[in-house]
Amino acid sequence: MSESALVEQIYPRLPVFLQNAACWYYGKKEARVRFGPAFERRLQELVDSEKWSASEIQAYQNERLRTLVRHAYENVPYYRERWKSLKISPDDIRSRDDLHKLPVLTKEEVRQNAGKFVAQNTSRRELLSRHTSGTTGKALHFYMTKEAVAFQWAVWLRHRLRFGVAPGTWHANFTGQRVVPITQRTPPYWRWNRPMHQVLINMQSLTPAKIASIVDLLNSQPFEFYTGYPSFIHMLAVNATDAGLRLTSPPRVIFTGAENMLDFQRRDIQAFTGAILSDHYGSTEACCNASRCPEFVYHEDFEFCIMEGIERTPGDRARSIVCTGFSGGAFPFIRYEVGDTAVWQEGKGCPCGRNSAVMLRIEGRCDDYIVTPEGARIARLDYLFKDALNVKEAQIIQERLGEITVRLVCRSSYARKDELEIRRDISSWLSPSLEVQFEYVQEISKEQNGK
């Protein structure tokens, strides 16, 4: 049994004080990786580079790109083999304008060749295993280093600094992690991660029956900001409003990510909290990021990545996002197609004075949700399949309350134990009261964006 599976079986059985201790331990461990000396250095550099001119940005990106391409050619087997077959050498890529000479990298190519993306000059001891399943349940496994994690978090916290929120500020984190077992029927419906200065509230707790206790917590002490998925915070706003509850100690700012915030979500969240709403766009693979400025415009985080727009439909302003990341030399993503689209602003700059590339909107980050018998609306269903290595694709369908169908495309190694594991995860992640049917198919139809 894996360590994560062992933790998931033991943690829900612990008393609340030991669950808080486990959250403290996790927070302490993660804080060392995220917020060490490398983070402090990166954050200061990022604050300084925000003031750069367009020519300074261009020079920086071109230099980083040349270094990355040469490193990939010399040390990363996949790129060396692929580019040699196309007769491409590092000398062919001198600037951002030359990126079109390199082939676009797909998620499937990374899945099929993951071992060949690890840089040969990187010590295995430096690698941190990461994975994401994506919206159709396809597992994607890759590696990061502590330096890369610190860089990514420095980018995210620079975004918060733009709105006056400093590192170490206490906040409420509306999370997808199951920190409170869904079988718990009495408060507290939250856990404390004190090393990272946050109270953790998971989406399964945002039900009509539990919402009053959660609002009481949020009113019990000042949390300067909230962070989390917009769909989770929207659940808070809707259920609290329906119950006639209000915030007496509202947050000043709410930061969201991972999904687009829809207009009705923005309306309901602002009506309930009165907070400033901002978000950033990024990827688990740590190869791209765009953050809102105080004018609420998306700016490419140019120190962290290059974001290109590739035309897929003639005449369509929305272009496929293709990213080259500067943080992941140990497992580099070069011209990686993320699967989302964006509309870039051309010509004029941003009123905020920053000279980085501007995106008017980013599309393709909307999640569906299911409704549990307990009244919770659960999104981020991809969590169910992150460890399902024998599942190629997955889809969850709900046509009636209390029932779901799990549609799977399986690998040849899939066995009965895999289905039992998924059933167990559904029970603990969604609801033990759901009736679950499995449907095995050859393929799952995609949306227009390929997801």
| In-domain check, residue 373 | no
* CATH number, domain containing residue 256: 3.40.50.12780
Using the structure block, give the residue that is written with the tokens 């992640």.
429
| In-domain check, residue 451 | no
Q: Model's pTM, two decimal places?
A: 0.83
Residue type, 400: R
Residue 333, CB-side half-sphere exposure with 13 Å CA sphere = 32
Whose CA is closest to 259, among 239, 277, 241?
277
- How many CB atoms within 10 Å of residue 288? 24
Give the range of the structural domain holding residue 250, as residue numbers without chain letter: 1-366
pLDDT of residue 46: 98
Tokens of 352: 């905020």
- Considering only CA atoms, give the Rg of the chain: 22
| Cβ-contact 323, 289 below 8 angstroms | no
Q: What is the pLDDT of residues 45-95, one digit of tens each?
A: 999 999 999 999 999 999 999 999 999 999 999 999 999 999 999 999 999
| In-domain check, residue 378 | no
Residue type, 25: Y
Contact residues for 294 (Cβ-Cβ < 8 A; gap 6+): 162, 163, 352
- The full DSSP string for 350-371 is -TT---S-EEEEEE------EE
| In-domain check, residue 159 | yes
SS3 state of residue 132: strand
DSSP 8-state class, residue 13 = G
More confident residue, 97 or 381: 97
| In-domain check, residue 396 | no
| Cβ-contact 285, 333 below 8 angstroms | yes
CA 318 – CA 296 distance, rounded (Å): 19
| In-domain check, residue 308 | yes
| Cβ-contact 310, 337 below 8 angstroms | yes
| In-domain check, residue 386 | no
Stretch 16-20: mean pLDDT: 97
Least confident residue range of 31-45, 189-203, 392-406: 392-406
Rounded to whole angstroms, what are the CA distances from 190 to 179, 200, 203, 432?
A: 7, 6, 10, 20
Contact residues for 30 (Cβ-Cβ < 8 A; gap 6+): 195, 196
| In-domain check, residue 440 | no
| Cβ-contact 288, 338 below 8 angstroms | yes
Residue type, 283: S
| Cβ-contact 213, 189 below 8 angstroms | yes
Q: Which residues share a beta bridge with 300?
A: 290
Counting the structural domains of the chain, the total is: 1
pLDDT of residue 2: 47
Q: Is the pLDDT of residue 3 over 80?
A: no
